[in-house]
Amino acid sequence: MEKKQFIKLMDEKLKLIRTEYGLTQDKMAAVLGISKKTLIEVEKNRKSLGWTGSVALASIFSDSTILRDAAGGDMSDIIIALSFKNVDVNYPKTWGGKVWWKIISEKKGCRIQQNIFSRHYRLLDQENRRIYASFSLEETEAVMDDILK
């Protein structure tokens, strides 16, 4: 997934999320900090939320069943993978991938997992701390190899 695909997904899910939460267009626009006119244009596929609006939607409505089903879990992993590409980040501890994750490889206590819905990868250490997240398996494997040298 690239930023453009993420934005498209958020644009497509906006109305469903608004309905899921029982919000009017006025209230949803206020929550997102956009005008009602812009919200209507996005819902009619005439405009886009853009990156910032998409991140706001995914963050504010992170408990949405619609989003969790579309992305395979926590949206923050996807936002992190897209936002911090080529940036070193000290990620917090995870639950270790008990749900929505498939193990791709394991070496010396580290493992690469892939999310079964969004298809992004993450590298976890022995204590389930996220070391790296990316949509590129090759990049993730390279980071793992560098760490284990």
**Does the pTM of the predicted model rise above 0.85?**
no
Mean pLDDT of the chain: 89
CA distance 57 to 78: 13
Q: 89-137 pLDDT, tens per residue?
A: 666 667 666 678 999 999 998 999 999 888 899 999 988 888 888 889 9
